[in-house]
Structure 1
């Protein structure tokens, strides 16, 4: 597959683990290769993607500049490649390992909504005037 950059990655900024990965991607990727869209923001309009917000929250989604969508592990693979993390992305392409990684990804997707107790890397920036933008109950 020949990628048509940039890749737009739709991620849940309320997820502490997801936010940590996004910090890494943001540091490594140029805007010519990767655009990051936080679907947890109040101003995010899911209808512009053709998917519901619930669908976007249930599985990672990314769209190339030519309109082609990739989801799940493939969205992770291409976002890591966009950030120049090819060495880390390579195992996601190994046929023998792929079923195990898919199973792990599906398990993570089920557990992810219950991980809000983990420390969020943007915790200080997410709270202003005694209000937090996070759905974290603390």
Structure 2
């Protein structure tokens, strides 16, 4: 277990991803800033290179960094972010060694399919529209 001085954990997340944004909403509602902080990698001005990564690498897997500079990615980033928010019991199966290979496979598959899930409703509807354009078509007038 990490020591108190290694908190906060900074979670780097894809704010444009509807499923990711829902998870972040849950974590924000439970986390204290002293234990968990959030950085949206899709916000203007975010520089992945300053952290030693490409934006593509950060989009390919969840990244989190402890205050001591230790990085965790993928399932471990998920597990530690839920622990930091005080919700570790919900993510406990992610730490079960016999399940790790299967869970890692599932996580990798999710990461591949995640970009194709952009059609799902985003908890922040304004994320859909940027610079005057919306990638999701408005409802048709055929039902009127």
Using the alignment, how far apart are the partners of 1:56 and 1:97 within structure 2?
24
Larger Rg: 2
Which of 105, 108, 122 does residue 106 from structure 1 map onto? Answer: 108
CA gap 1:117/1:136 in 2 versus in 1, 3 angstroms: farther
2:2 aligns with 2
CA distances 1:76-109 after superposition (whole Å, capped 9, x unpaired): 0000000001111211111111111111100000
Question: Residue 126 of structure 1 corresponds to which residue in structure 2?
Answer: 127
Gaps of 5+ in 2: 137-144
Q: Which residue of 1 aligns with 2:29?
A: 27
**TM-score in terms of structure 1 length:** 0.90
Task: Report Cα offsets for 1:43-101 as digits up to 9, x if no partner.
Answer: 21112211111110001110000000000000000000000011112111111111111
How many residue pairs were aligned?
133
Distance 1:12 1:87, change over 3 A: same
Instruction: Could you tell me which runs of 5 or more consecutive residues in structure 1 were left unpaired when the two chains were aligned.
Output: none
TM-score by length of 2: 0.87
Distance 2:109 2:115 in 1: 11
- Provide the alpha-carbon RMSD of the alignment: 1.6
CA distance in 2, matches of 1:27, 1:108: 24
